[in-house]
Amino acid sequence: LFGYVGIEAVLDQMRIKTMKTGFEFNIMVVGQSGLGKSTMVNTLFKSKVSRKSSCPGYEERIPKTVQLLSVTHVIEEKGVKMKLTVTDTPGFGDQINNQNCWEPILEYINDQYERYLREEILINRKRKIPDTRVHACVYFVPPTGHWLRPLDLEFMRRLNKITNVVPVIAKADTLTLEERAEFKQRIQKDLKAHGIHVYPQEDFDNDADDRLLNDKIREKIPFAVVGADKEHQVNGKKVLGRKTKWGIIEVENPAHCEFPLLRDLLIRSHLQDLKDITHNVHYEQYRVYRLHESNP
Say if residues 36 and 262 touch (Cβ distance below 8 Å).
Answer: no
Bridge partner list, 232: 239
Shortest distance (Å) from residue 271 CB to Mg ion? 24
CA atoms within 13 A on the CB side of 205: 17
Q: Which residue number, 37 or 275, has a Cβ lying nearer to Mg ion?
A: 37
Burial of 199 (0-12, 13-18, 19+ CB in 10 A): buried
Partner from Mg ion, ligand GDP, none binding residue 184, C-beta < 5-8 Å depending on class: none
Backbone angles phi, psi at 287, to 5 degrees: -60, -50
CB neighbour list of residue 50: distance below 8 Å, 6 or more residues apart: 44, 73, 75, 84
Q: What distance in Å separates the CA atoms of residue 153 and residue 190, rounded to the nearest whole number?
A: 8
Is 104 a binding residue for ligand GDP by CB under 6 A? The answer is no
Contact predicate 71/13, CB 8 Å: no
Q: What, of Mg ion, ligand GDP, none, does residue 222 touch, CB below 5 to 8 Å by kind? A: none
Helix (H) or strand (E) holding 42: helix 37-46
Question: CB 169 → Mg ion: shortest distance, Å?
Answer: 17
Q: What angle do CA 50, 174, 94 make, to 5 degrees?
A: 85
CB closer to ligand GDP, 140 vs 283: 140
The reply to whether 167 sits near ligand GDP by the rule CB under 6 A is no
Stretches 18-26, 74-82, 166-174, 273-281: which one binds ligand GDP (CB under 6 A)?
A: 166-174
**CA atoms 32, 33, 34, 37: torsion sign:** positive
Nearer to ligand GDP, 113 or 140 (CB): 140
For residue 31, the tally of other CB atoms under 10 A from its CB is 24
Least Å distance, CB 224 to ligand GDP, is 10
Of 26, 37, 109, 221, which lies in the binding site for ligand GDP, with binding defined by CB under 6 A? 37
d(CA 226, CA 251): 6
**Which residues in the 19-78 window bind Mg ion by CB under 5 A?**
37-38
Site size toward ligand GDP (CB under 6 A) is 14
Report which residue's Cβ sits closest to Mg ion.
Answer: 38
226 binds, among ligand GDP, Mg ion, none (CB under 5 to 8 A by kind): ligand GDP
Q: In terms of CB distance, is 37 or 135 closer to ligand GDP?
A: 37
Which of Mg ion, ligand GDP, none sits in contact with 167, Cβ below 5 to 8 A by type?
none
85 binds ligand GDP (CB under 6 A): no
Burial 150-188, CB ≥16 within 10 A → b, else e: ebbbbbbebbbebbbbbbbbbbbbebeeebbeebbeebb
- Whole-number Å distance between alpha carbons of 208 and 210: 5
Q: Report if residue 70 touches ligand GDP, rule: CB under 6 A.
A: no
Question: Closer CB to ligand GDP, residue 242 or residue 275?
Answer: 242
> Looking at 37-45, 72-80, 118-126, 230-238, which segment touches ligand GDP (CB under 6 A)?
37-45
Using CB under 6 A as the binding rule, whether residue 260 contacts ligand GDP is answered as: no
Residues at the interface with Mg ion (CB under 5 A): 37-38
Residues at the interface with ligand GDP (CB under 6 A): 33-39, 91, 171, 173-174, 226-227, 242
